[in-house]
Chains A and B, each alone.
Chain A
Amino acid sequence: MSGTVTSGPMASGAVTATNDFVVKFANVNGSGSASANQLFAKSILRMGIPIASRNIFPSNIQGLPTWFEVRVSGAGHLGRRGGVDLMVAMNPQTWDRDIAEIDPGGYLLYDSTRPMPNSRFREDINVIGIPLTQMCNAAYTEARQRQLLKNIMYVGALSALLQIEPAVIETLLSEQYKGKEKLAKPNHDAFMMGREWALANLQCPIGLTLERADKVGERIYVDGNSAAGLGAVYGGATVCAWYPITPSTSLAEGFERYARRFRTDAETGKKRYAIVQAEDELASIGMVIGAAWNGARAFTATSGPGISLMQEFVGLSYFAEIPSVIFDVQRAGPSTGMPTRTQQSDVLAAAYASHGDTKHIVLFPEDPHECFTFGADAFDLADRLQQPVFVLLDLDIGMNDWLCEPFDWDDARQMDRGKVMTEAELESGKTFGRYLDVDGDGIPYRTYPGTHPSKGAFFTRGTSRDRFAKYTEVGAAYVDNMQRLLKKFETAKSLVPRPVERPASQPTRTGVLYYGSSSAAMKEALAALEAEGIHLDAMRIRAFPFHDDVMEFIARHDKVFIVEQNRDAQLRTLVMNEGGIAPARLVPVLHYDGTPITARFIHAAIAEKLPSLNVLPFAGAAAE
């Protein structure tokens, strides 16, 4: 059967869409598919059509299944939609579940070199067979080439089937292989081979088509970990101590890459930064605290298990009032396996990290653009507030390339080093009490070691000290200090990023709170709900402690959904606890299977729950 085109009942049910569909590639990890899939994704972007791409990968170097999903959305929806319109099934291991995932009327592209029994297909999808292996074996003799170029070949076929402009691919290939022309030619040839075969043998285009648009604008396509690493460079971080852990590793590597580029002394080759790969997460955070105590801006990057290991030190950072910045790229669960999947499940672990009474600053970036800005802001906040600041990314934002607003920087901006008493101030006789609340905002002054020969030195401890850092175990002194820390946390509310509100187009008594990587899918879900007449005021939370706006928002609504990617509704717990909100008013919408949340999921969950909540429509309520 090889070489023939298998075709399902390409009937009236076939999906037709322009610039609005989902393509999913099912591949084998380590087969070189990533760069071909990236080429596909980027070519659509270059045609001016927004896309969202997501890698779903195993904890493995080679052999296990991996998927790459491309959401094409002329309307600009960047979350996962849910469902698949075109499956490029290149992995026999996952064939059955890949076939099952295709929306009715959708398409399947597969390697038809070996015949497949009819029972392995579905009646309600359109099947496109291309003898990729056969073509590769005929064209190449080397095994690795046969494997790698097969991927480029299906991109060639897709260019014909979906109407990708070949010139765009040409440009991308020549950019990618600039200076490596030897590699450019075989890639180009494989691309053309796939394309020409499809044009000659298949009905092109299929129902899914791409049409050049102008919807991308100035936006950039970048992963959140790189963006956060760049943010740390712009935030003035000079010390990075970290321990490798998926999915945060590329954040430290991003910092290294940008710091090397921007912070290497042109004359001496010396570095204006230090990166230490520590022996574990405990040492990582210890180094961060030591460096920050001594006046450098320092951070670590980790994931959930690292947060668990850092608990004791995080408490020290809080009680001893030492700035620390912790990027937590959240993942699912301990040990191996699910850790290559995404979740928002460290919210409580970060907010209340450590023993004793502690609360910390937590920032929730929605995309790589905010990873950059929050990444830089975190250092100002940590210095200003002298306490730990967590930046909570997740695998979805951290490790996937996202289309987002370009990075921006105000050259007039200066680092806010917070309240640091200088040698001159000490010399002039200014009173220094390390834990003395001089300004009434709960934030004391600190000194860096080595500042003055006889003034301003103090002994740093966790607790057991008075306002002048003298040792004491007197209960009243402890309480005094703990109350000041609460006051400081209150001050923090006005310094952290404010929530972003998106009012419904009509008055409503129902609201929804969401945060982090759920944002893109949430926007799409809101649009879909509105089209059905379901109106929701929406608020995106960007930081803990919660701004007063959050509590006011809840007060204005009878019911408030909270959309999260964890099992236990962790942000909801935090909102209830900090705001004294009755649990029944906050309705959890939870997605936690390790894949990024989809617009369809949120849409369905809210639409399903709404009738049972007994929320009166606004007009009816007004008539009461």
Chain B
Amino acid sequence: MSFLPKPKLHHPKLPVNALGYTRRDYEGAISTLCAGCGHDSISAAIIQACFELDIEPHRVAKMSGIGCSSKTPDYFLGASHGFNSVHGRMPSVLTGANLANRDLIYLGVSGDGDSASIGFGQFAHSIRRAVNMTYIVENNGVYGLTKGQFSATSDKGSKAKKGVVNTDEAIDLIGIALQLGATYVGRSFSGDKDQLVPLIKGALRHNGPAFIDCISPCVAFNNHEGSTKSYDFVREHNEAMNFLDVILGREAITTEYAPGEVRDVVQHDGSVLRLRKLHDEYDPTDRVGAMHHLHERKAAGEIVTGLLYIDPDPQDLHENLATVATPLNRLDDAALVPGRKALEKLNASLR
């Protein structure tokens, strides 16, 4: 990590987005993670995605649990409120925040220990409850802050830095998210910014539970020979299903593709997810097919990445609860307190 304060000045000709913000306006405090940590690349991808989507930084709420990954919300979107909650419990805190104000964008950042072990239940239930959020797991298969223990996403047979071989079956969060009804499911790799940035953009524009499993090698404890979460291993076994471009309504679509080469999925908010197909047979709107494909390729030793499943017209928790359009945190006394008259009537019924 660097101990130098981050300079606030930037080049006057730095490009600005539609809101007049530069990329720098989406940055946060300087990272305290190890040099080369995959998590920092994911933070950079989040910054890039928000900049490109012209998101007002203060309209984003950044939520996390505990761990290396959960520290990162401090390192991006410095003008957003952030909440570093307790270990494994980001999903419930995010759910509550979302209930209070449905108008903000909720970005949950978690790790494999945080979401697959201590917080496995909360991860699962927030997905099945259809909370409108972008949930990113920065997955390195290892506990970093406590120095190198296996996590629940460590593959069976994967080797720890000191040579111990993991004998427990790994939890595949993508498989769980698909089964529990996440309506936007993607996997990526922190070392592949071109794939990751559009995937985050699509998730931020998605109106339901969007889950991204991002493999993010731990340079300190899990980047060695024998690890299945190292830079080398992931690059070698990465099998991308498609390549995504997120096109907002106002952008003119100029690139031409041969018929059958791309597939456009229009999301609820009008944004277009343009998928450049890398596997002809893969249909990202077929949930059962996606689950099947995932397990099949996993058995073949591949790490399937890309936008694996998309339901372009999902229903979220607020729709399920039939809450009013006004955020609950903006309702005033008149909207909330029934008053004395109502109470008198109630009293009369209790005699």
Write out the residue numbers on chain B whose beta carbons fall within 8 Å of the beta carbon of A454: 58, 79
A275: nearest residue on chain B (CB-CB)?
A: B321
Contact between chains at B329 and A296 (CB < 8 Å): yes
Residue B96, interface by CB 8 Å: yes
A269 CA to B324 CA, complexed, in Å = 9
Contact between chains at B99 and A274 (CB < 8 Å): yes
A220 CA to B81 CA, complexed, in Å = 46
Residue A83, interface by CB 8 Å: no
Interface size on B, residues (CB 8 A): 62
Residue A265, interface by CB 8 Å: yes
Contacting B321 at CB < 8 Å: which of A218, A219, A271, A458?
A: A271
Q: How far is the CB of B84 from chain A (nearest CB, A)?
A: 5
CB neighbors of A among B77-125 (8 A):
78-86, 89, 91-101, 103-104, 121-122, 124-125
Known pairs A262-B338, A279-B121, A453-B57; A239 contacts B84 (CB<8 A): no
Known pairs A271-B322, A291-B99; A221 contacts B86 (CB<8 A): no
Residue A294, interface by CB 8 Å: yes
A414 CA to B334 CA, complexed, in Å = 9
A453 CA to B21 CA, complexed, in Å = 11
Contact between chains at A278 and B333 (CB < 8 Å): no
Residue B252, interface by CB 8 Å: no
CB neighbors of B among A417-475 (8 A):
447-454, 457-462, 471
Contact between chains at A450 and B328 (CB < 8 Å): no
Contact between chains at A450 and B104 (CB < 8 Å): yes
Write out the residue numbers on chain B whose beta carbons fall within 8 Å of the beta carbon of A410: 340
Stretch binding the partner chain, chosen from B162-170, B241-249, B295-303, B341-349: B341-349
A238 CA to B327 CA, complexed, in Å = 10
Known pairs A312-B86, A409-B343, A410-B340; A287 contacts B80 (CB<8 A): no
Stretch binding the partner chain, chosen from A1-9, A116-124, A229-237, A515-523: A229-237
Write out the residue numbers on chain B whose beta carbons fall within 8 Å of the beta carbon of A276: 95, 99, 129, 317, 321
CB neighbors of A among B310-331 (8 A):
317-318, 321-325, 328-331
Known pairs A271-B321, A409-B343; A238 contacts B100 (CB<8 A): yes
Residue A364, interface by CB 8 Å: no
A233 CA to B339 CA, complexed, in Å = 10
Q: How far is the CB of B212 from chain A (nearest CB, A)?
A: 21
Write out the residue numbers on chain B whose beta carbons fall within 8 Å of the beta carbon of A233: 336-338
Known pairs A238-B328, A291-B99; A460 contacts B82 (CB<8 A): yes
A65 CA to B313 CA, complexed, in Å = 53
Contact between chains at B99 and A450 (CB < 8 Å): no
Contact between chains at A290 and B329 (CB < 8 Å): no
Contacting B59 at CB < 8 Å: which of A272, A408, A450?
A: A450
Residue B350, interface by CB 8 Å: yes
Write out the residue numbers on chain B whose beta carbons fall within 8 Å of the beta carbon of A219: 351
Q: How far is the CB of B61 from chain A (nearest CB, A)?
A: 5
A450 CA to B327 CA, complexed, in Å = 12
Write out the residue numbers on chain B whose beta carbons fall within 8 Å of the beta carbon of A295: 100-101, 329-330
Write out the residue numbers on chain B whose beta carbons fall within 8 Å of the beta carbon of A273: 323, 328
Contact between chains at B340 and A294 (CB < 8 Å): no
Residue A242, interface by CB 8 Å: no
A559 CA to B343 CA, complexed, in Å = 43
Write out the residue numbers on chain A whose beta carbons fall within 8 Å of the beta carbon of B63: 290
Contact between chains at A450 and B125 (CB < 8 Å): no
A333 CA to B338 CA, complexed, in Å = 37
Contacting A450 at CB < 8 Å: which of B101, B322, B337?
A: B101
Residue B67, interface by CB 8 Å: no
Residue A313, interface by CB 8 Å: yes
A282: nearest residue on chain B (CB-CB)?
A: B89
A287 CA to B317 CA, complexed, in Å = 13
Contact between chains at B89 and A294 (CB < 8 Å): no
CB neighbors of B among A254-301 (8 A):
262-263, 265, 268-276, 278-280, 282-296, 298
Known pairs A270-B325, A411-B339, A459-B73; A291 contacts B103 (CB<8 A): no
Known pairs A407-B346, A449-B97, A460-B82; A274 contacts B328 (CB<8 A): yes
A130 CA to B85 CA, complexed, in Å = 64
Residue B213, interface by CB 8 Å: no
Contact between chains at A313 and B89 (CB < 8 Å): yes
Contact between chains at A236 and B336 (CB < 8 Å): yes
Residue B138, interface by CB 8 Å: no
Contact between chains at B80 and A272 (CB < 8 Å): no
A374 CA to B88 CA, complexed, in Å = 33
Q: How far is the CB of A438 from chain B (nearest CB, A)?
A: 20
Contact between chains at B74 and A459 (CB < 8 Å): yes
Residue A616, interface by CB 8 Å: no
Write out the residue numbers on chain A whose beta carbons fall within 8 Å of the beta carbon of B172: none
Q: How far is the CB of A608 from chain B (nearest CB, A)?
A: 39
Write out the residue numbers on chain B whose beta carbons fall within 8 Å of the beta carbon of A459: 73-74, 81-84
Residue B18, interface by CB 8 Å: no
Residue B52, interface by CB 8 Å: no
Known pairs A286-B122, A407-B347; A458 contacts B81 (CB<8 A): yes
Write out the residue numbers on chain B whose beta carbons fall within 8 Å of the beta carbon of A460: 81-85
Contact between chains at A279 and B328 (CB < 8 Å): no
B92: nearest residue on chain A (CB-CB)?
A: A286
A218 CA to B347 CA, complexed, in Å = 9
Known pairs A296-B100, A415-B333, A454-B58; A272 contacts B92 (CB<8 A): no
Contact between chains at B95 and A290 (CB < 8 Å): yes
Write out the residue numbers on chain B whose beta carbons fall within 8 Å of the beta carbon of A279: 121-122, 124-125
Residue A108, interface by CB 8 Å: no
Interface flags, B41-72, vs A, CB<8A=1, else 0: 00000000000000011110101000000000
Contact between chains at B100 and A294 (CB < 8 Å): yes
Residue B14, interface by CB 8 Å: no
Contacting B58 at CB < 8 Å: which of A45, A453, A461?
A: A453
Contact between chains at A450 and B93 (CB < 8 Å): no
Contacting A270 at CB < 8 Å: which of B91, B324, B329, B340?
A: B324
Write out the residue numbers on chain B whose beta carbons fall within 8 Å of the beta carbon of A447: 81
Write out the residue numbers on chain A whose beta carbons fall within 8 Å of the beta carbon of B95: 241, 276, 283, 286-287, 290
Known pairs A239-B99, A272-B335, A457-B78; A316 contacts B322 (CB<8 A): no
Known pairs A457-B58, A458-B81; A450 contacts B103 (CB<8 A): yes
Interface flags, A129-141, vs B, CB<8A=1, else 0: 0000000000000
> Which of B78, B92, B317, B333 has the largest count of A CB atoms less than 10 A from its CB?
B92
Residue A186, interface by CB 8 Å: no
Contacting A234 at CB < 8 Å: which of B78, B89, B338?
A: B338
Write out the residue numbers on chain A whose beta carbons fall within 8 Å of the beta carbon of B346: 230, 407
Contacting B86 at CB < 8 Å: which of A268, A291, A316, A453?
A: A316
Contact between chains at A239 and B94 (CB < 8 Å): no
Contacting B92 at CB < 8 Å: which of A234, A287, A408, A461?
A: A287
Write out the residue numbers on chain A whose beta carbons fall within 8 Å of the beta carbon of B328: 238-239, 272-274, 291, 296
Contacting A291 at CB < 8 Å: which of B100, B343, B347?
A: B100
Contacting B74 at CB < 8 Å: which of A278, A287, A471?
A: A471
Contacting B324 at CB < 8 Å: which of A268, A291, A406?
A: A268
Contact between chains at B86 and A296 (CB < 8 Å): no
Write out the residue numbers on chain A whose beta carbons fall within 8 Å of the beta carbon of B343: 234, 406-409
A270 CA to B335 CA, complexed, in Å = 12
Contact between chains at B336 and A239 (CB < 8 Å): no
Identify 9 new A-B residue pairs, CB closer than 8 A, beyond the known A409-B339, A460-B84. Answer: A233-B337, A274-B328, A287-B95, A290-B85, A296-B100, A406-B343, A407-B347, A449-B104, A462-B84
Residues of B within 8 A of A (CB): 29, 56-59, 61, 63, 73-74, 78-86, 89, 91-101, 103-104, 121-122, 124-125, 129, 317-318, 321-325, 328-333, 335-340, 342-343, 346-347, 350-351
Top 4 nearest A-B pairs (CB, nearest first) are A290-B96, A286-B92, A296-B100, A287-B96
| Cβ contacts A to B, 10 pairs, < 8 Å | A218-B347, A273-B328, A279-B124, A287-B95, A290-B98, A296-B329, A406-B343, A407-B347, A450-B81, A458-B81
Residues of A within 8 A of B (CB): 45, 216, 218-222, 230, 233-234, 236, 238-239, 241, 262-263, 265, 268-276, 278-280, 282-296, 298, 312-313, 316, 406-411, 413-415, 447-454, 457-462, 471
